[in-house]
Amino acid sequence: MVKLRISIANPNSQLKAGMFATVQFGIKEGRYIAVPKEALVTVQGKNFVFVQKSLNRFERREVMTGDQINNQILVFGGLAENESVVVTGVMQLKGLSFGF
């Protein structure tokens, strides 16, 4: 819990000084890249996704992740905007890529 000072519109004067509130700062705030939770593979403490490079070619890519919001994981590094990430069949690619 933290103390926070924010400014919000209160046109009907329903909010009073000293009232408590729950505030969420979701992934709709600002620019971000998010991937479905199913796309993420964790091996030895590192997070990876598989990026589709062509029809039958995929590249394993280490990513720096942030919070999970609903079914989405924020990605802060390792992916570029508009890259296609594999969501279905990830475990098969993991086995092929890491030799499991």
Q: What's the pLDDT tens digit per position in 37-46?
A: 999 999 999 9
* H helix or E strand, kind and range, residue 73: strand 72-77
CB-based contacts of 58, cutoff 8 Å, min separation 6: 50, 51, 52, 86, 93
What pLDDT is stored for residue 78 in this prediction?
A: 94
Spans of the chain, pLDDT less than 50: none
What's the CATH number where 52 sits? 2.40.420.20
Range of the domain at 43: 33-98
Residues 79-96 have pLDDT tens digits of 998 899 999 999 999 988
**Identity at 12, one-letter amino acid code:** N
Q: What is the DSSP letter of 38?
A: G
* Total structural domains within the chain: 1
Sheet holding 57-69, edge to edge: 33-36, 72-77, 57-69, 46-54, 41-43
* Residue 67 maps to a domain: yes
